[in-house]
Every structure is written in C-alpha cells, then in structure tokens.
Amino acid sequence: MPSCDRPGIAHLIESDGPGGAERIVAVLAQALQEAGARNVVFLPEQGEGWLARELADSDVVVESYRLDTPLSPACARSIAASFKRHRIDLAHSHEFTMAVYGRWASWYAGVPSVITMHGSRYYAGRLQRRLALRAAMSGRTRVVAVSHQLAGHISRDLGVRRSRITMVPNGVRFGAPAAPDPVRRELALGPEHCLLVAVGSLYPVKGHRIAVDALACLAARHSKLHLAIAGRGELAGALAAQARALGIEDRLHLLGLRSDVSAVLAAADLFVLPSLSEGLPLALLEAMFARRPIVATDVGEVRSALDGGRAGVLVPPGDTAALATAIDAILADPGRARTLAGRARERATAEYDLAGMVRRYGSIYDELLPVDRFRFTTHSA
C-alpha cells in the first residue's frame, strides 16, 4: 500500500533495558510493523541500548530523546518535532515519564495519545507526579492498564474514572518448545535432579529471597532439588550470600540475563513466581505457554491469568512456608503437575497470545484515528 496510507505510530518509553514494559514495546512495534503500520520507537539518548538491539533486525525506526531535567519543555518540543518529521499519527507512551512527555509532545504535534501503565505505582508517592500523570491522562487520551488491579489503583490514586481505563493484558509470541537438555547440562543436572525456575530482575519486589528461603525449607526432604533464577540486578550478591548462609549455595544457580528464556523454561520441572507485586508478568505467560506447572504469588493479574488457581497454584506474597508447601505438594504429585501444566498452556493460548494483544491495541488506535484511515482491526497479526 502507498506509504501515505500507512499510519505512523510512535512508541515512547523511559528506559531501554530488558524489562517487561520494554519487551512489550519491542514485540508490539514489530507486530504492528508486520501489520502494515510505520513504527518509530523513542528511547533515552544515554540508554542501555538493549531495546534498540532488539529492534535492529526489524523495519522499526529508533529515535532518541534527551531529558536532562525533570521538567523540560525543550524535550517535549524536540519529540514533537520528531513526530512531524516521521509523520506520526498517534503517540503511544509507556510508564510514568513518557506518559507525561509523550502526552506533552502529542499536544504540541496535534496527534492523539495512548498511555499504558505496566504495573508499578511509583508515581503515587509524590503529589507532583500524581498531578502530572492526571494531567497527561486528561482529554481524549486513552488510558490502558495491564491488569484490573492496576486500573483500580490508577482510578483511585489519580481520580480518573474507572470507565476511562481500558485493561489490555500483555501478550507474548511463543514459538516451538525449546529443548531442555542444553540448560540442564550447563547446570550439571541429571534426570534425577528436580529444577525450580524463576525468571525476573534481581530486585526486592520480585521476591527471590522468599524463593531461596523456600528452597532451604525443602532441602532435607528433596535432596536433589535446585533453583535457577534467570535475571540480573542489584541483589545477585545478596542472594548468593543468603544461599551460602543457608547451606544451599550448590543448589542455587544465578543465570544472569538470558536470551534463551524458552530453553531455561524447558529445563524446569516447576516454574516459581515469588513476586511481592506485579501487573501481568511476561515470565508467567511464557511459563504458561511452555506448559510448566506453576506456583505463583497472588498479586496483580496473576490470579486471573491462572484462572483462579485452575491453571497454577496461588500462594500469598511473602509467605515462605506457603510457597514451600505448594512446591512440595506439586513435586509429590506428578499427575497434578501435568494437569496444571496443560491447563496453563490452554489458558495462555486462549487469552495471552501476541495477536490478541495487538488486536486490542488496534481497536483503541482505530477509535482515535480518522475513520477514512487504515483500520488496524482488519490488518493486525
């Protein structure tokens, strides 16, 4: 189709490390590009570069912005100028900082705006941030939350009518199952060993300390039980020290940032999500697609994703004993583990595939773009 008929979508995000929101930006922009749109992803000038590398082999354009001060009209004007240069028709911002600046730039450029919040309420602790975000969400801006719980928080925190907030669950693209053997060989695990896997950045909110404590609780009863955590972050040293103090340092494997998460999941006998807070974690969805039995904390949208406990076991956040008991029960009942794993895969396929997420966002875009333009809902993946 002629390029003038292809809508230009700007995706703006405040960081470009390997986090959940950044991964959503990458897969959404690429899927929309495949559906026929023109996509430009705006990243911080002095960023880490991970997201730009993820997009390097696609036709998605990457632009940088410079934000030197908390309040920078120059940054907003610069982004607006880029909108005009790239013929942007709609701005889609992710998380707090770019919610504010993306909305500001879209006002300068005269284009509609969508804001997606991904699971953190760090905006709520300061009045200035609440006021700025409330202003960004005013007018015709469409507000999206990735979980019903987060939508409720936004409504209460900012005084935004709940009816104005759309819930769009995250979606993942999951291909053919990976082979478990390479990762298990890497960890020197044989068929007699049992491997728990957690995936997530090594930050306190991810609850990995609880998972390590649970492993220690189970060590005597399950002499071949190991825990592997894929992710990086500030707690790597503290988790290793915790395992040494508990006498289980040989059973904890800190894998760092992995590009082969599907292989790590394939190697798992059980997936553990010990988070203290979440929206809708991509790692959980990937574990569901990988047909792993799951024990997860009852936070954010996790209960809904696991169909109220039919597709995985739910435990209270921060409760080591409950987490250990749930893991023990699944390890003791392989038949139940297989049933839960099968239900998890069915649930993921029905509700959390990438195409479904793209269709939902496409419907929002269609409402904001002129009626004589390209329709996403008839072209999306």
| pLDDT tens-digit readout, 334-350 | 999 999 999 999 999 99
Q: Are residues 272 and 153 in the same domain?
A: no
- Do 272 and 299 reside in the same domain of the chain? yes
Mean pLDDT of the chain: 93
Separation between Cα atoms, residue 323 and residue 310, nearest integer Å? 17
Name the pLDDT band for 3 (thresholds 50, 70, 90).
very low
Same domain, residue pair 152 and 204: no
For 279, how many CA atoms within 13 A lie in the half-sphere containing its CB?
Answer: 27
pLDDT digits (tens, 9 = 90+) for 30-57: 999 999 999 999 999 988 899 999 999 9
Which residues, listed in sequence order, are joined to residue 63 by a DSSP beta bridge? 42
Cβ-contact 340, 294 below 8 angstroms: yes
d(Cα 39, Cα 62) in Å, to the nearest integer? 9
- Number of structural domains the chain divides into: 2
Q: What is the pLDDT of residue 380?
A: 55
Q: Do the beta carbons of residue 328 and residue 215 sit within 8 Å?
A: no
CA distance 101 to 199: 31
Say yes or no: 165 and 192 in one domain: no
Parent domain of 302:
181-351
- What is the CATH classification number for the domain harbouring 261? 3.40.50.2000
Q: Whose structure tokens read 């069915």?
A: 346
Looking at the fold, whether 32 and 93 belong to one and the same domain comes out as: yes
Residue 217 pLDDT class (50, 70, 90 cuts): very high
User: What confidence tens digit (pLDDT) does each residue in 251-304 have?
Assistant: 999 999 998 999 999 999 999 999 999 989 999 999 999 999 999 999 989 999
- Pair 90, 186 in one domain: no
Rounded to whole angstroms, how far apart are CA atoms 321 and 327? 10
How far does CA 379 lie from the centroid of its chain?
A: 24
Give tens-digit pLDDT for 313-327.
999 999 999 999 999
What separation, in Å, do the N-terminal and C-terminal C-alpha atoms of the chain show?
Answer: 17
- Under 8 Å between Cβ of 312 and 306: yes
